[in-house]
Amino acid sequence: MGDAVCTFNPVYAQDMSVAALETLTPRRHLQRRTEPRPIRFLRDLARVVDAPWDIAAATDLSFPGVEGRRPWEPCWPQC
């Protein structure tokens, strides 16, 4: 599975670690030997990917030329 779910910028050295953790999710689901539950499976994958994604995105957004709303900046009065 690995990078099929989420691919990171190699500059941050997260890709191999997150890919390895992503492969454990289907393993855990297959070991249950129950009927597949896609929503639960995708939710578990999101738990693996969310934190590293937030770290990478925040780092990218710290560069002035990168477009996007900074989560640490207020969005009002545009919100």
Q: Kindly report the pTM of this predicted structure.
A: 0.68
Answer whether residue 76 is part of any domain. Answer: no
Answer whether residue 27 is part of any domain. Answer: yes
Mean pLDDT of 55-66: 83
Answer whether residue 49 is part of any domain. Answer: yes
For 5-42, give one letter per residue: b (16+ CB within 10 A) or e. bbebeeeeebbeebbeebeebeeebeeeeeeeeeeeee
Mean pLDDT of 26-51: 91
Answer whether residue 75 is part of any domain. Answer: no
State the Cα–Cα distance between residues 16 and 44, nearest whole angstrom: 18
Answer whether residue 23 is part of any domain. Answer: yes
Answer whether residue 67 is part of any domain. Answer: no
**What is the number of structural domains in the chain?**
1
- Domain encompassing residue 40: 2-61
Residue 31 has pLDDT above 90, yes or no: yes
Q: Could you tell me the pLDDT band of residue 68, with boundaries at 50, 70 and 90?
A: confident
Answer whether residue 13 is part of any domain. Answer: yes
Answer whether residue 66 is part of any domain. Answer: no
Residue 28 has pLDDT above 80, yes or no: yes
CA-based end-to-end distance of the chain: 37
